[in-house]
Chains A and B, each alone.
Chain A
Amino acid sequence: MDLSGAFTAMWADLPAIFSMLIVGAAGLVVILMEAFQNRDPRIPWLTAGAFGLAMGWEAFQLGTAPDTAFFEQLRTGGYAAYINLLILGAGLFTTLVSPPYLRRLNRNFGEVYALLLFATVGMIMLGTSNTLISVFVGLETMSVCLYIMAGLLREDEGGIESGFKYFVLGAFSTGFLLYGIALMYGTTGTMHLPEMAGAFPDGVPLLFWAGVGLVIVGFGFKVSAAPFHMWTPDVYQGAPTTLTGYMSTASKASAFAALILILFFALPSAQASLVLAVLALITMAVGNVMALRQANVKRMLAYSSIAHAGYMFVALASGTTAGYSGALFYLLVYTVMNLGAFGVLALLEWDGMAGRKQTLSSLAGMGLERPVLGASMAVFMFSLIGFPPFGGFIGKYYIFAPAVSAGLTWLVIIGLLFSAMSGYYYLRVIYVLYMQTAADVAEADRAPEGGFAQPAWLSTAAVALCAVLLLVLGVAFSGVVDVTEMLFIQADAMAQTP
């Protein structure tokens, strides 16, 4: 092996992981700053700067042709840039809304931002991986950081439950994923995703499908698809709200991105379609039905995020490039609306337990008292239902339409019925925010006098920006859809030419 040539190739590939390098380096600097001065006030700004810089870089990579880097370990080009932009954007939003929120909880540690940055490095690796090894390394880097972030409120019962449950079940699911990777490698003899599909010229052995099944189970845990969703409500409820928003969007976005890469490149045929369709069906049913009965808004949003994972599986089940690009678009919309909804909840939180004991009724009348937050929350809720002028509607169209073309009409009909049903619990939030006052709700549900925090302008502006972005995505979506479709046309062309 030519060692000098290998190093030369490696140095030449460094720009391909620019955002990983900048975000990782920022994490190390943050750790040092925290070591020398506890809760250094410059840390959030540095973190936001690193995210912003990386986003700027990725924005210029959107149109580039797909390629691989580091001996085909990672993908570069448009697909990677799109996912990275999404993840980095979620990170930037979380950094903007977190400081005032965590200060109120007395948990504004510098380590939180370092973990945020390190988790993002893992997510970038996961979302751009081209081999099963980088899938695994990325997933673990991301998960270990998220376990700690989930248990941040370590004196609170709910925080302990959240961190512990996430860690134990996450580690368990990693076992499934790893066994699946082992079986896929054992049958194909390669770790590279694009080479897997061509490994069986005559018949795919059952053992390979067993590996694919285990990998889907592993990813099912990470994206909280039913029946692997049990951890989601408890973990989301006990974790600090802004970080819950990050967990429920960025980690799902990167896990779905990696799953799409595996389905698109590594599977020789669309035989997994029915499995994914059943997974979608169960996930939509569990998420939507369970969300109906929740009194706690964070728990409701946790079940709603399960339901949305189900919608995305509908797109994956169609098994076509249109389906995958629809899922990518939906990931963007989902990230914006969920981040925003969790951001509003964080700003309207008063119980000092990450909203664990706070019922929906405690927010009665806040829509009129905090007009910007209330209006933004209304936008997020309408968009989560899939109401026309907002991004959620367009997103749902682009995931259901390819499924109809692929002959999954039954699944789409069920999905539409479930999203109609979701109107009940989403609209209830708007009802409570605008049409009830504190006098209307039970004594036990009311917030104490002066319980609500003073509005922090930067966080409020970030939330409002999410709402505006949803409106823009709902009207001027064609540019983004062109981009997501282009990514797969390019990838198709690349897969055919080697």
Chain B
Amino acid sequence: MFADFIPLFVIIAIALGLALTLLAAASWIGPKRPNKIKRTPYESGMDPIGSARERYSVKFYLVAMIFIVFDVEVVFMYPWAVSFHDFIDAGLVATVGVMTVVGLFVGILTLGLVYDIKKGGLEFD
């Protein structure tokens, strides 16, 4: 039984070994000439202003909820759309069935969206 898993462990060993080797090589071989600009945190080209540890408005979480609604929707809609032809080929029962299932799924997600909007998820002040 363990023999079946040996390739898996080999991959894990290679991945770990490669990552550690590269890190070690970089720290041995790489030149180190630090200066002030190199030491500043990377902020996509901007000069860093103040601490990054600020409090975010709780509104962002409601926006994140809306994102989840659409995100999850697409994750499940994509395989459905790809395999839809198979269901059409399989006949009317399968076509109606798969439409009902996906319709229910989207419907339930829409309820989540309605809840979020009604609770003020899109109102900014």
- Measured CB to CB, the residues of A under 8 A from B are 2-4, 6-8, 10-11, 28, 31-32, 34-36, 186-187, 205, 207
Chain B 1-32, CB-CB to A under 8 Å as 1, else 0, gives 11001000000000000000000000000000
Give the chain A neighbours of B111 by CB distance below 8 A.
28, 31-32
Is B93 engaged at the interface, CB distance under 8 Å to the other chain?
A: yes
Give the chain A neighbours of B91 by CB distance below 8 A.
3-4
Task: Look across to chain B and name the residue whose beta carbon is closest to the beta carbon of A7.
Answer: B97
Give the chain A neighbours of B93 by CB distance below 8 A.
4, 7-8
Is B114 engaged at the interface, CB distance under 8 Å to the other chain?
A: yes
Q: A4-B91, A10-B97, A207-B1 are in contact. Are A32 and B108 (CB under 8 A)?
A: no
25 A-B pairs with CB atoms under 8 Å apart are A2-B90, A3-B86, A3-B90, A3-B98, A4-B90, A4-B91, A4-B97, A7-B93, A7-B96, A7-B97, A10-B97, A11-B97, A31-B111, A31-B112, A31-B115, A32-B114, A32-B115, A35-B114, A35-B115, A35-B118, A35-B119, A186-B5, A187-B1, A205-B1, A207-B1
| CB of A70 to closest CB in B, whole Å | 13
> Which of B5, B94, B118, B119 is the one whose CB lies under 8 Å from A3?
B94
Give the chain B neighbours of A207 by CB distance below 8 A.
1-2
Interface of A, secondary structure class, is helix
CB–CB B118/A36 < 8 A: yes
Question: Which of A3, A6, A186 is the most central at the interface, judged by chain B CB atoms within 10 Å of its CB?
Answer: A3
A11 to B93, alpha carbons, bound, how many Å?
11
| CB of A351 to closest CB in B, whole Å | 27
A6 to B90, alpha carbons, bound, how many Å?
11
| CB of B57 to closest CB in A, whole Å | 16
A28 to B94, alpha carbons, bound, how many Å?
27
| CB of A182 to closest CB in B, whole Å | 11
| CB of B2 to closest CB in A, whole Å | 7
Chain B 64-76, CB-CB to A under 8 Å as 1, else 0, gives 0000000000000
A31 to B112, alpha carbons, bound, how many Å?
8
Give the chain A neighbours of B98 by CB distance below 8 A.
3, 7
Task: Look across to chain B and name the residue whose beta carbon is closest to the beta carbon of A207.
Answer: B1
Nearest 3 pairs of A and B residues by beta carbon: A7-B97, A3-B90, A35-B118
| CB of A129 to closest CB in B, whole Å | 21
Which residues of chain B (101-125) have a CB below 8 Å from chain A? 108, 111-112, 114-115, 118-119
| CB of A212 to closest CB in B, whole Å | 15
A35 to B116, alpha carbons, bound, how many Å?
8
Known A3-B94, A207-B2; further 12 A-B contacts with Cβ < 8 A: A3-B86, A3-B91, A4-B91, A4-B97, A7-B98, A31-B112, A32-B115, A35-B115, A35-B119, A36-B118, A186-B5, A207-B1
Give the chain B neighbours of A36 by CB distance below 8 A.
118
Give the chain A neighbours of B115 by CB distance below 8 A.
31-32, 34-35
Give the chain B neighbours of A34 by CB distance below 8 A.
115
Task: Look across to chain B and name the residue whose beta carbon is closest to the beta carbon of A5.
Answer: B93
| CB of B25 to closest CB in A, whole Å | 33
| CB of A295 to closest CB in B, whole Å | 36
Give the chain A neighbours of B96 by CB distance below 8 A.
7
Task: Look across to chain B and name the residue whose beta carbon is closest to the beta carbon of A25.
Answer: B108
A433 to B22, alpha carbons, bound, how many Å?
70
Give the chain B neighbours of A2 by CB distance below 8 A.
90
Give the chain A neighbours of B5 by CB distance below 8 A.
186
Task: Look across to chain A and name the residue whose beta carbon is closest to the beta carbon of B96.
Answer: A7
Which residues of chain B (78-105) have a CB below 8 Å from chain A? 86-87, 90-94, 96-98
Question: Which of A4, A8, A28, A187 is the most central at the interface, judged by chain B CB atoms within 10 Å of its CB?
Answer: A4
A388 to B86, alpha carbons, bound, how many Å?
64
Task: Look across to chain A and name the residue whose beta carbon is closest to the beta carbon of B1.
Answer: A205
> Which of A7, A187, A205 is the one whose CB lies under 8 Å from B94?
A7
| CB of B119 to closest CB in A, whole Å | 6
Task: Look across to chain A and name the residue whose beta carbon is closest to the beta carbon of B87.
Answer: A3
A31 to B111, alpha carbons, bound, how many Å?
8
A242 to B25, alpha carbons, bound, how many Å?
59
Give the chain A neighbours of B108 by CB distance below 8 A.
28
A10 to B97, alpha carbons, bound, how many Å?
9
| CB of B114 to closest CB in A, whole Å | 6
A73 to B96, alpha carbons, bound, how many Å?
23
| CB of A147 to closest CB in B, whole Å | 16
Give the chain B neighbours of A186 by CB distance below 8 A.
5
| CB of A93 to closest CB in B, whole Å | 27
A32 to B111, alpha carbons, bound, how many Å?
7
A3 to B90, alpha carbons, bound, how many Å?
6
| CB of A25 to closest CB in B, whole Å | 10
Give the chain B neighbours of A32 by CB distance below 8 A.
111, 114-115
| CB of A135 to closest CB in B, whole Å | 22
Task: Look across to chain B and name the residue whose beta carbon is closest to the beta carbon of A38.
Answer: B119
Task: Look across to chain A and name the residue whose beta carbon is closest to the beta carbon of B4.
Answer: A186
Give the chain A neighbours of B1 by CB distance below 8 A.
187, 205, 207
| CB of B98 to closest CB in A, whole Å | 8
Give the chain A neighbours of B94 by CB distance below 8 A.
3-4, 6-7
A135 to B67, alpha carbons, bound, how many Å?
28
Task: Look across to chain A and name the residue whose beta carbon is closest to the beta carbon of B115.
Answer: A35
| CB of A187 to closest CB in B, whole Å | 6
| CB of B8 to closest CB in A, whole Å | 10
Give the chain B neighbours of A6 by CB distance below 8 A.
94
